[in-house]
Structures are given as structure tokens and as C-alpha cells.
Amino acid sequence: MYQDKSNETFVLIRLYRLISIIVLTIVYILTWNNNITYSKTFIVLGMLSSSTVGAFLYKNNYPDNNGIIIATIILESLAYSVFIILSGGFSSPYLWYFINLLIIIIALKPFGRYSKIISVGLMLLMLACVFIQKRLGIPNNSGYLTYSDINTGIAFVVVSCGFYLLLESNDKLLQSRFKLYELNLRLEQSKKHSEYALNHTMNVYDALNLFSISNPQKVMDELNLTLYKTIAKNGCALFKISSMYDIEFCSFEGIPEDHESHMAEFILKTIKFNKQDSLPEDIAIDNQVYCVKYIMKSSNILAVLFISNGKQEINESYYEMESRFYLDFVKIIMQELDIQSMVESYIISEEQNRIASEIHDTVIQKLFSISCNLGTLETEIGSIPEEDIKMMLNDIIKSTNSTMKTLREAIYGIKWGLGYDDLFEKKLSMYIQEAMDMNHINIRLDVDDNISVLASNKKTSLYRIICEAVNNSIRHGRATDIEINVSIYEGFAIACINDNGKGFDKNIIPKDRQGIRNMYMITGILKGTLNINTAPGKGTEIMCKIPV
């Protein structure tokens, strides 16, 4: 911008030179009074030629060739000095044309920081030449300085200084405008950087929330949406790949539905049979080209990302860095999903071991006891009274019922039928009713109608946590009144269990209280929280909160 304004100033100087040489030449000719001589004609032609050659050299060499500009100024100053002396000195109209050189030096600054000194020196040189012309007694001069000459010299100095101050002020104004222009550019750039940083921070914040989601498909959908908003604004598809190179989960954003099957077929065929160093980097579907990104850990492909090619507004300086960041983030999320799957498998295995252990330690012993009692009854049935037989049979029935109860408590009801949204509440109600009948206590149950939004594995976990809490309240807390409330609130499933039992010290959990540890572990796997408020003699309140 500053250079453009300097060019405008240079154009004005050239225009001023043209107008002034024409006007001054006309004034000089008018002073002839029809007394035309060869010397006067020579002076006019010399001034016009010098001005024309100077203008040509300035125009073709500014601002690239400063050396020629300096040489032109020196030659012009010598030529104008001679012609001004020959044309009358202080009386010559061409004296004022010499100001053009001073203007060029001040405006263009060809001598750098010495331009001011050079301009002052040329002005003094001009005055000295005029004074010498007077002393030499060149024709048409008296040889003495008159008041008119002195006034003309003072006016020449004053006008030159005025032009100098005007040009200096204009130059400072241009520099200030240039600084403001640069500042505005920096502010706009800073604004763009700030907007980018804010958007990137918000996207990263949204992406970090993925670590609190336990549903794999929802994780894939949210992750793919983040990619769509950042590095794949024309559309993208994300596929989670198993260790056997099968598709576990997938998500699409901005992709035509008929392209999804082609991408899945590409993965199942290409990845299984191609070597990793020869995997295609792009794929064309119906004239639409997709860039293929392989998310890998060591030699295993964790996921495949398809990004639709096309024009999109991106900052090239940030896009590559942003792409690396989000691809690495996808890798972390894919590893997290694998770890989550392994942990869930581990939990199932541990639960199976726990059930087997409980059946071995309790159910089998009770069944053995029942078997022994039946054997005794069979042996002694002919020698004991009928009343004793009835008592023994009642004991066996009670023992059988107790065994069935223990078996139910060990296994729970963890299978859910398809298409029955209220099955969770029904099974939980059945368990509560059986607990009330067998233990002669009061249990109140309230289940939110929106509980059907929970996934099957979360229903199972929540059901087991509630049953474990109720069982502990009866078995260990000796509670006679229990209240259970299950609700959905702000994206969380919340189960509250309150009893009037004897409570316990929650900082000291006995080794035989494996159920409480299991409740903590199950809640933690689901990325939820479990809070137990209790104290000896004050009952127990358990709150389980897991994300939907």
C-alpha cells in the first residue's frame, strides 16, 4: 500500500514538472518582446530537452534503478544551473523549475538518509551560481544584486522550504497510513487465528467427551461428526475394523447412501487380500473420488476413513497439522474401543467365575444337604411317626426354597427379550416381589417410563446392581423397608436404593462383601459413578449413575 501511494506521489511530481516547464517556457518567451535570438532559442530547447530526457529516465527507472535516478538528478542540476545562468539568473523564470529537483530528492529519497543534505546543498549551489552570474557580468545583468534579486532569492528559499515541509508531512502521513494498514492486516490475521483456535478448541472439547460415552456406535457417530466438521467438510465415512478385518461399526456423514455399500465391499475385499504397502490411497464411486486413510497400530488396521475430495474452505497452513491431530485422535479412540471390548469380555468372564464360585460354595452344598436328608428319610420312613415325616418334608421344602433363592441371587435375570421395552421393569418387579414374599419385608419400586432408551448391556448391569443392593440390604443390613427409584435425567440413568437397615462402615468393606466391589467395578466400566452413604445404625443409601 505504501509503495502504491509513493507511485501516486511520483505521478503527481511528473505532472507538476510537465505543467511547470510549459508555463515557465511561455513566461520566458513572453519576456523576449519580439527580440528572438539564437541564444534564447538554445536555452528554451535545452530546458525542454533536459526536462523531457529527465522525465523519461525517472519514469523508466523508478523505483528499481536508484543509480540512474541519482545520475539523472546530478546531470539535470548541472544543466539547469547553466541554462538559468544564461537566461538571466534571478530574473529567469526557469529559476523556479529548479525546485523540481528539490521535490524529487525529498519525495523519492534516492540518496537515502543524505537526501535532505543533498537538497539543501543543491539549493545553495543554485543560489551560488546565480550570484556568480551576477559577479561575472553576463549580458543583461548589471553585475550588482538589487532588492528585486534579493527578494527573488528569499522567495526561492521560502518556496523551496515550503515544498520540503509539505512533502515531509505527506511522507509521514503515508508512512502512518501504511503502518495502520499493516496493523489492520495483522489484526485481521490475528482474528482469523483466534477464530481458528476457538473452533479447534471447541471441536477438541466435543471430541474429548467421547471418552465418557460407552456405547461404541454412538462413539463412532460422534467421532465421525467431529471429522465432518473439521477435516472432511465434503463428507466422510468411518469404519471400525476388527482383528479379523471385519467391519464392527460404521458411521457416515455427507455420503450418499448408495456409496456406503461400495465402501464396505472395498474394505472387505481390498484390505483382506492386499498387502499393507500396496493399499489403495483413493477410491472412485460414481465419479466421486474418496481419499482413503488407514488408521493403524503397528501392523494392524484399526479403522478406515473415507474423505470426499472436493473444494472446501481450508487454511492450508493448518490443514495438514489438523489432519494429523484428528487422525491420531481417531487412532486413540479406536484403541479405546478395543480396550473397552476387552474389559467387557473380562467382566463377563469374571462374572461367570463369580457365579460358578457362588454356586459351588452355597447351592451345591445345600443340594448335597437336601440329598442327604432325602436319603435319611428313605431309610427311616418305615420306622418313624407320620408327624416326624411331615416335619422332615417341611424342612426339605424350606431348604429347597432357600436353595432356589440363592441360585436366583447368583444368576439374576440377565437376558432380555427383543421387542419388550417394559421387560426390565417386569423382571425387576418379579425379583422385588419374590424378595418381599420370602423375607416378609416392604420394598417400593418406581421406574421411569424412558428406561427403554438404555442399551441391553446397561440394563443388565443396572439390574444386577439393584439386585445386589437389595440382597445386601436384606442379608447384611437386616432392612425391613427398602425404596428403589430408577430414572433417566440429563443423559444419565440414575438408580437410588434406600433402606432402613443397620448400615456399615463404608471405609472398611469385609472380604466376604464381594458384591459391593462388583457394583463399583461394573459402574466404572460403564463410565459412571457409584456413591454409598451409610454409617453403622443409620441405614444405607446407594446412588448409581451411568451415561445413557
Cell of 72: 539523472
Is pLDDT of 492 > 70? yes
Q: Which residues pair with 540 in a beta bridge?
A: 499, 534
The domain locations on the chain are: 2-182, 213-313, 342-411, 414-548
CA distance 303 to 465: 34
According to DSSP H, which parts of 359-422 are helical?
364-380, 386-411
Is pLDDT of 403 > 70? yes
Q: Could you tell me how far CA 294 lies from the centroid of its own chain?
A: 22
- The band of 237, judged by pLDDT with boundaries at 50, 70 and 90, is very high
The fold for domain 213-313 equals Beta-Lactamase (3.30.450)
Query: pLDDT over 70 for what percent of the chain?
Result: 82
160 CB neighbour count, 10 Å cutoff: 22
Homologous superfamily of domain range 414-548:
Histidine kinase-like ATPase, C-terminal domain (3.30.565.10)
- The band of 339, judged by pLDDT with boundaries at 50, 70 and 90, is confident
**Local structure of residue 271 (DSSP, 8 states):** I
Give the pLDDT of residue 386: 78
pLDDT in tens, 260-309: 888 988 888 887 666 666 788 888 988 889 999 998 887 788 899 999 98
Give the pLDDT of residue 175: 79
pTM of the model: 0.48
Cell of 277: 504397502
Give the pLDDT of residue 530: 92
pLDDT in tens, 94-105: 777 777 777 777
